[in-house]
Amino acid sequence: MDDVYDVVVLGTGLKECILSSLMSMEGKKVLHIDKNSYYGGDVTSVNIDSLFQYFNVETDISKYHRAKDWNVDLVSKFLMANGKLVQILVHTGVTRYLEFRSVEGSYVYHSGCVYKVPCNESEALSTKLMDLFEKRRFRKLLVWSMNVDVDNPSTWNYVYPPPMDIKKDTISHAFSSFNINKETQNFIGHAICLFQDDSYKESVPAIEVISRMQLYSQSVCRFGKSPYLYPLYGLGELPQAFARLCAVYGGTYMLNKPIDELVMEKGRVVGVKSDNKIAKCGMVICDPSYVPTMVKKVDQVVRAICILTHPIAEVQNSLSTQIIIPQSEVNRKHGKFIQRMHVTLIYFFRYLYFMRISSA
């Protein structure tokens, strides 16, 4: 460890592994350290035994069959098929270390029922989420949003006055002009754009909402069933794949390596100390757990991990799904996201079902 590096990275979470791999590809000398004995940090994937140990829960593991058959993410997230993370995976060539599956369906909860989010024209025509006239208004809004080019103001306006500045005005301007009702606004904001609450209507420039609508549509077009992808063996595969890429370009990895302190000179970091040895460097990148005194809490996410003996009735024909519950449907400040996984995506006992719930 006694050496000089361009960059020392602390923690093997996804962000840290992406940055270390990119710097290694640029010819930087990288040392990547993690105090844990595993890759991934908070986005790691664990077996059922490690899952209960992580939460300090004692239980009879034998009823869940072989622990190695499980691969459970501590943090749940589906990837947009045309999103920036997937583009990074393709650009860096990390996809050669990974295998993905398309999530079969996206659903939204409305008025006590669960409806499939339409992903093609026939589903859009048959859905009971909207009446016929509202479908026509929604389609006009969707067509307009798909044709918007942020660099071409001539595409920002539509046949309904007054003109709109998508960089300054909010999406409420467009909702009003296209006469979109409140239920459809909730559908757009939560099921398509994935906002946690309704504040986006007044606080977010319309261009961000339009960009999310475009991303959703582009992602659906990639695979047809839904806009979401998921790594076959769990999200923990992502940081490991970037770590492999970093190592290919000369990066050095050390797991289970506690850090004593950051070495400072004249207010600037110049190295990392561990076991009385110092790795000198010009830059340190670390996850928040390494500098707790510098962390400011601004929000929180509540998550639940559920193991079921039966599928969710309304979506039992889909092997993997995301169900979105808008805030207004349950009188809460934030929406909820439910992700249900099956054996085709993460390996565990085939007669048990795995569900994760998250909410701000």
- Quickly tell me which residue has 């992502």 as its tokens: 238
pLDDT tens readout for residues 10-22: 999 999 999 999 9
Tell me how far apart the alpha carbons of residues 205 and 181 are, in angstroms, rounded to a whole number.
20
Q: Which of 264, 279, 294 is the last residue of a domain?
A: 294
Whether 95 and 240 share a structural domain: yes
Which of 206, 186, 193, 166 is CA-nearest to residue 331? 186
Whether 133 and 217 share a structural domain: yes
Asked if residue 349 is part of any domain, the answer here is: no
pLDDT tens readout for residues 221-272: 887 778 999 888 888 999 999 999 999 999 999 999 999 999 999 889 999 9
pLDDT tens readout for residues 264-308: 998 899 999 999 899 999 999 999 999 998 888 888 888 888 887
Q: What angle do CA 153, 154, 158 make, to 5 degrees?
A: 110
Q: What angle do CA 155, 158, 163 make, to 5 degrees?
A: 90
**Maximum Cα–Cα distance for the chain, whole Å?**
72
Asked if residue 344 is part of any domain, the answer here is: no
Whether 265 and 280 share a structural domain: yes
Does the pLDDT value for residue 29 go beyond 90?
yes
Whether 176 and 247 share a structural domain: no
Asked if residue 111 is part of any domain, the answer here is: no
Q: Give the pLDDT band of residue 208 (cuts 50, 70, 90).
A: very high
What's the rounded mean pLDDT across residues 170-190? 91
Whether 184 and 240 share a structural domain: no
Asked if residue 68 is part of any domain, the answer here is: yes
Asked if residue 88 is part of any domain, the answer here is: yes
Q: Which of 241, 263, 294 is the last residue of a domain?
A: 294
pLDDT tens readout for residues 213-223: 999 999 988 87
Higher pLDDT pick, 16 / 62:
16
Whether 191 and 246 share a structural domain: no
pLDDT tens readout for residues 48-60: 888 888 888 888 8
What is 151-186 written as a DSSP string? T-GGGT--SSSS---TTTSBHHHHHHHTT--HHHHH
Asked if residue 240 is part of any domain, the answer here is: yes
CB atoms within 10 A of CB 100: 17
Whether 158 and 216 share a structural domain: yes
Quick one: tokens of 75?
A: 């943090």
Whether 91 and 174 share a structural domain: no
Whether 218 and 238 share a structural domain: no
The three-class DSSP label of residue 9 is strand
Asked if residue 142 is part of any domain, the answer here is: yes
Number of domains in the chain: 2
Show the DSSP H helices in the chain as ranges: 14-25, 48-54, 84-92, 121-126, 132-147, 171-177, 182-186, 200-203, 206-223, 237-248
Instruction: Report the pLDDT value the prediction gives residue 162, as an integer from 0 to 100.
Output: 64
Which of 92, 90, 118 is CA-nearest to residue 105? 118
pLDDT tens readout for residues 309-358: 777 777 766 777 888 888 888 788 787 788 876 544 444 455 677 777 88
What CATH number should be reported for the domain holding residue 185? 1.10.405.10
Instruction: Report the pLDDT value the prediction gives residue 13, as an integer from 0 to 100.
Output: 94
- Quickly tell me which residue has 């979506």 as its tokens: 315
Whether 144 and 208 share a structural domain: yes
What CATH number should be reported for the domain holding residue 268? 3.50.50.60
Tell me which residue range forms the domain holding 65: 4-99+232-294
Q: Which of 272, 294, 316 is the last residue of a domain?
A: 294
